[in-house]
Amino acid sequence: GAGVSQSPRYKVAKRGQDVALRCDPISGHVSLFWYQQALGQGPEFLTYFQNEAQLDKSGLPSDRFFAERPEGSVSTLKIQRTQQEDSAVYLCASSLTGGFNEQFFGPGTRLTVL
């Protein structure tokens, strides 16, 4: 596709459930990023991949959050034992090269934890 796609677009989970959010970056993009955007806030960095390597996971809020990109393309953000404070929009972005470059954002997945 032409842009970054994410699925599902909306996810409702009961507290304690595990969820998996998918990101399809722009084909050929080396770098992939996940951001968390709480209501009324700007996006906050979660983690960064260069190809399949997770180079930075400093923004993951707890060990319940886990991200992978096993083949260097599609990425999955997994949240275990979801809590109400996990409710947010999760944005994925990709960029052509490693290091600094313009990031292209997907539409996001809105997660609501009841």
Partner 1 sequence: AQSVTQPDIHITVSEGASLELRCNYSYGATPYLFWYVQSPGQGLQLLLKYFSGDTLVQGIKGFEAEFKRSQSSFNLRKPSVHWSDAAEYFCAATLSGTYKYIFGTGTRLKVLA
| Residue 25 binding partner 1, by CB under 8 A | no
Residues of this chain, 52-71, that bind partner 1 according to CB under 8 A: 56
Report in angstroms how near the CB of residue 61 gets to partner 1 at its nearest: 16
Identify the residue among 33, 34, 65, 90 touching partner 1 (CB under 8 A).
33
Of 19-27, 39-47, 61-69, 79-87, which part binds partner 1 (CB under 8 A)?
39-47
Whether the bond into 107 is cis, omega within 30 of 0: no
Residues of this chain, 74-103, that bind partner 1 according to CB under 8 A: 91, 93, 95, 99-103
Residues of this chain, 1-20, that bind partner 1 according to CB under 8 A: 3-4, 9
d(CA 68, CA 56): 12
Contacts 24+ apart (CB under 8 A), 68-75: 69/32, 72/30, 73/24, 73/25, 73/27, 74/22, 74/23, 74/24, 74/25, 75/22, 75/23, 75/25, 75/32, 75/34, 75/49
Residues that bind partner 1 (CB under 8 A): 3-4, 9, 31, 33, 40-45, 48, 56, 91, 93, 95, 99-108
